[in-house]
Structure 1
Amino acid sequence: MKKPNILVLFVDQLRKDAIGAYGNTQVITPALDSLAADSTVFTQHFCSFPVCTPSRYSFLSGLYTHQHGCWTNHSTLSSEYETFPRILLKNGYRTQAVGKMHFTPTYLDVGFQHMCLSEQDGNGRFEDDYHAHLMRHNLVDGIDVIDQRSEYRVNAKPGYFDSFGVEVSDLPEQYHSTAWVTDQALQRLESWEDEGECMMISYIKPHHPFDPSSRFVELYKNREIDLLSGYTEEVPAVDLGYNKGYFDNTKLSAEAAKEMTKYYYASITQIDEGIQQILDLLKRKGLYDSTLILFTADHGDYLGFHHMALKQNHMYDPVLHIPLFIKYPGKEGGVCTSLSDNTQVASAIIAALGGDCFIGNHLPLADEREYVLAMNRQVVEGSERTCYAVRSKRYKLLVMGPMENSRLFDLYADPLELEDVSRLSEYSQVLQSMQSFLVNCILFDYPFKNRYEPNAGVVVKTKEETDRQRKALQCYYQQKIVH
C-alpha cells in the first residue's frame, strides 16, 4: 500500500478572517482560496496557546501546553514525547522542514530528518540557514531585527513605533524571507517521489514587523481597506490594565490600524504567491491529487481589535481563531463546523493515512465538541499566573487565575467580547458548566504527562559505570532469587 505524501503549509500570526476562503473580500489570496475549494475547511478551529513556540509544540505533539511543559518561546519539547513527523519517520517517510520552526535549540530533533531554517526570534536568527545566506550576500534584514531584538529595538526610529512596525521591506524581493522559504521548498520538492514524503513549509510572515516587498504593497495601493470587526475608539480598561502592548496600544489610531491591515494583507499575498508556485510544482509532477495538503497557523493577531495590535493581551478570538483546511487525497472539498483545536491535528494526519498510532489528543477533528480549551501564562496583579480560555460556539470563558477572576461573553449577542455577563443570574448555569469543564480538563481529561528519560544526565557515576553496576546487580538477583 502506498504511503501518501504529506505537505504542511504553516504561517505565523494569521487570523482566520484574513483569507478570502473565509469570506474576506479585500485580501488577495487566490492560491489559498483555490486550495480551500479542494479541501475540508474547518470554520471553528482554534489554537491552544496564542504564542508561537508553545502552539507549535502542541501542533506537532497533540499535547496541551500544561502537558508538554513548554510555556514560552524559549522552551524545549522533550524527546520522550511523540510527534507526527517522528511517527511518520518510523513508518518509512522522508521528513523535512523548511522555514521557521521556532525551536530551542534551533535545530531541535522533533522527527525531521532534514531542516533548512529561517528563524526570527532569539538566537535562531544567528544560527539558521537564511541569515547565513543574507550574510554571504552582504545583506541584513534591518527592519526585522530591530523589531525582534531588544538590543536593536531601543535604537529604532520614531516612525517604527508610530506605524506599529509597518514598512516596506529593506531587502531585495528575492532575499525576503518569504521568497527564500518558497525557493528552498521548491528545490526540495523537485526531488519528491510519489509516496512516503513529508514536508512542513513554515513562513515567518505575516508575523510582525509588517514588511512585505514593495511589489505586494503596490497591489493594495488603490484598494479600500476596512477595519476588521472589533476596533474600538480606545483600549478597554480591562485590557489596558492587563498589558500595555508590544507597541503602545493607546496610540493606535483608526488610520494606523488600516495601514497595518493593508501591510498585513500584502504579507499574506506574498506568501500566497509562493504557495501558488508550490502547488503548481506538485501539479506538474503529478503529485497534487495524491498529496495530503494541510494549511494552518500557530495563532492570530488583534489587528485593531479592542484598539490593540499583535497578541499580548487577553485570549480574544482574533488571536485564538485560526485557519485550518486539509485537502485529503481522493476526497472532495467541504466544510466542517465542529469545534476543534490544534492539539487534534497530529492524530488527524496519522488517521488520514490509515495509521493506528495516535498521539496526544485523539479526538477526531470532525467530532462535535462542546468546548475547546486554550491557555496562556501572563503577569496578573504583579505575579505570573496561568490563564485559561474555554470556548463553545456561543460562549467564551476567560479565567485570569484564580477562578473568581472569570469573565464570560455571550458571543451571539456580543461578538466583540466587550460585555462580561458572568455575574448575571441568567448565565449562572453556563458559567458553572464552563468552569467545571476547565477543572475536569486540567485534573482528569488532559492530565500532565509522565516524563521518562532514562538517558538523562547524571552526576557521581558515569553512564558506563551505571550500566556496569545495573547489569551486575541484575545478574546477582537472577542468581540469588531465581536459582
Structure 2
Amino acid sequence: MKLNFLLLSLVEFPLSLCAQISEINKTNILFIQADQHRYDCTGFSGRGLVKTPNIDKLAEEGVVFKNSYSCIPTSCPARQCLLSGQWPEKHRGLWNYDITLPVTPFEGPIWTAKLSEEDIRMGYVGKWHVSDRKTPKDFGFDDYVDEWSYNGWRKENKLPDYVWGDERWAMGGYDPVRKEQSRTHWLAQHVIDLIKKYNAEGKAWHIRFDTSDPHLPCYPLREFLDMYDKNSIQEWGNFRDDLKGKPYIQRQQIYNWELENVSWEMWQGYLQRYFANITQLDDAIGMVINVLKELGIYDNTVIVYTSDHGDAGGCHNMVDKHYVMYEEEVHVPLVMKIPGVKHHVVNEFVNNQLDMAAFMCDFYQLDYQTQGESLMPLIKNEAVNWRKYAFSNYNGQQFGLFVQRMVRDSRMKYVWNLTDVDELYDLEKDPWELHNLIYDKEYKQELTRLRKALYEDLKRRKDPLIRQDAAKRQLIDNVKL
C-alpha cells in the first residue's frame, strides 16, 4: 500500500500500521508549517475565536496534541531545531539571523540530508528562514519554490498592491486580488504541482510547505476579512496587565513597539486581520486536501498541522513574540490525521520541533540522533514514563539580548530570567498569567521543585548556561533575588 504523508508545518501508528509503512520507498510526506499561529486561534481548541474548518476536520479524524510547545518562540532557531532535532544551544542558531546582532550561520547537521540519501524525491515550497547562505537544496531537497518569488510573480502580472489598514498602528490591511492570486493559494498550488509531479514519476516523496501566514503584517483577502466583525472581538483577560513585579524588559517592550497609548480598538483591527489570515490559510490547506481526494490518496495520507511559535496579538498589550514565555507565544497547534488511527487527544507535553524531528527519524529509520523524543508512543497510546514538563528557551533578539529558560507542568509555570526577576504562575488560578508569584511564600515548595526540574533537564541536554556555578546557585540553592 502506498502511504502518503501530509505534515502541515505547523505520528505514531499502531504496530500493524508501522509495519505496513516501514518501507521508505512506499512513503510520501508533505510537511507544512505555519508561522506565528497560536494554539487558541484554532477551531478545535474550543475557544471559538477563529474559523478553521479544514484543520478542525483533521482534528476530528486524527490525533490532537493538546500541549505542544515551541522549543524556542523565534522563527529561525525554531525552524533550525525542526531540521536538526537539536536545541538552539547545540545547533548554535540562537536567534534570527536577519535582525540586530549577527549569529553563527546554521550548517546542520540535519536529518533531511540523511533522508535525501534514500530513493525519495524531496521538495520545499514557501518560507525558508533557516539560513541566509544556503537554500533547502543544500539540505537535501531536490526542488525549491522560494516564497519571495511570489512577489516577483505578482509584479510581473501587474497585480495591485496590498492596501494598508486605517489605523495608525495597523500592522497590515487587506489584499485586493482574487483568491488564486493570493500568496497562500499561490503557494498551495505549487505544492499541488509537486505532489502531482512526484506522483506521476512513481517516486516516493517528501515535500515541505512553509508559509509566512499568519505572521504580521496580515493582508487577508476581503472574502475572509468580512467573516469577522472586529467590534465583536472581546478584550483579552490580560490586555490591561500592568506588568508590575515582572521583568523590566516586558515593560520596555511596550515602549519599543510604541504601544503605550494604544486602545483595545486598535487591537480589534489587528486581530480581525490575524483571524482572517488564519482562515485564509485554512482554506488553502483545504485546497490541497481536495486534490488529495481527487487523486484518490486522501484516505491513505497522513496529514499534520503545526506552527513554529505563537503571537501575542494584544495579550499583555504586546505584539509579535520575544522576551516573554507567555502561553500565547509558546503554545502551538499540532494535529495529525493518520490512517488507521482513531481520533484521540494527547495531553502529554510535547517539545514541538524536537519531538517531531525525533519521530521523523524513527519513522524513516534514519541513523541520526536528536534531542527529542519520538511521538510514536503517544500516537499509539503507549506512552510510558513520558516527560512531565514542557520546556522552552529564549536567547535574545530584536532590541537586545535577554536569556530565559521556561518549564511548566499541568498547573505551574516557572521562567528563569538570568539577569532579572524570575516568573512563577499558577495556571489553574491565573490562566492569563497576570500575577507573578515568585516571592509568594505559599509557592516556595513549587518554585524549588520547578527550578530543580529545569536544572536537571538543562544538565541532561548540556545547555551551556549551567556550566557556570551561578546557575546552580540560582536553580538548586535558590540564591536568586
- Structure 2 match to 1:465: none
Structure 1 residues 241-260: aligned runs within 5 Å:
241-244=251-254, 247-260=257-270
The reply on whether 1:350 has 2:361 as its aligned counterpart is yes
Mapped partners of 1:160, 1:72: distance in 2: 30
**Alpha-carbon offset, residue 225 of structure 1:** 2.7
1:396 equivalent to 2:413? Answer yes
DSSP-derived class of the 1:9 partner = strand
Aligned to 1:122: none
TM-score, normalised via structure 1 length: 0.80
Does the CA-based 8 Å contact 1:62-1:346 persist in structure 2? yes
CA contact under 8 A between 2:406 and 2:414: conserved in structure 1? yes
The amino acid that maps onto 1:137 is N
User: Within 2, Cα distance between the matches of 1:245 and 1:40?
Assistant: 41
1:135 positional shift: 3.1
Q: Percent identity?
A: 24
* Deviation readout 1:423-470 (Å, 9 max, x if unpaired): 22332232222222333333333457xxxxxxxxxxxxxxxxxxxxxx
Structure 2 matches for 1:192-207, cutoff 5 A? 192-193=198-199, 196-207=204-215
Amino acid at match of 1:389: M
Is 2:66 the partner of 1:46?
Answer: no
1:92 aligns with 119
The answer to whether structure 1 residue 282 and structure 2 residue 292 are counterparts is: yes
Task: Output the amino acid matched with 2:35.
Answer: D
1:293 and 1:195 map into 2 onto residues whose CA distance is: 19
Say which SS state the counterpart of residue 31 (structure 2) adopts: strand
Shift of 1:305: 1.1
Q: Deviations over 1:55-108 (max 9, x none)?
A: 11112221111111102221566444122x323222322111111111323624
Describe the SS at the equivalent of 2:298: coil
Corresponding position of 2:388: 370
Q: Distance in 1 between matches of 2:242 and 2:165?
A: 22
Q: Counterparts of 1:383-422 in structure 2 under 5 Å?
A: 384-402=401-419, 405-422=421-438
Deviations 1:347-375 (A, max 9, x none): 1123345x253531242333431222211
Instruction: Say if 1:4 and 1:292, in contact at 8 Å, map to a contact too.
Output: no
Deviation string 1:149-182 (CA, Å, 9 cap, x unpaired) is xxxxxxxx8955433x141125554432212211
Conservation of the 8 A alpha-carbon contact between 2:323 and 2:394: no
Partner residue in 1 for 2:143: 114
Counterpart Cα distance in 2 of 1:323 and 1:277: 20
Structure 2 counterpart of 1:300, one-letter code: G
Structure 1 regions of 5+ residues with no counterpart? Answer: 119-127, 144-156, 449-483
Q: Look up the SS of the partner of 2:414 in the other structure.
A: strand
**Contact persistence 1:210–1:264 (CA under 8 A):** yes
Shift in CA distance, 401/141, structure 1 to aligned 2, threshold 3 Å: farther
Question: Take 1:223 and 1:183, find their aligned partners in 2: how far apart are those partners?
Answer: 34
Cα 1:32–1:135 shift into 2, 3 Å:
same
Structure-1 separation of matches of 2:291 and 2:31: 15
Choose which of 155, 171, 180 in structure 2 pairs with 1:135: 155
Unaligned runs of 5+ in 2: 1-22, 98-102, 465-481
Q: Are 1:432 and 2:460 matched, yes or no?
A: no
Aligned AA (1:378): G
The aligned length equals: 421
The alpha-carbon distance between structure 1 residues 230 and 357, as it changes in their structure 2 partners (threshold 3 A), is farther
Task: Give the superposed CA RMSD.
Answer: 2.7
Structure number with larger C-alpha Rg:
1
| TM-score, structure 2 normalization | 0.80
Q: CA deviation at 1:230?
A: 2.9
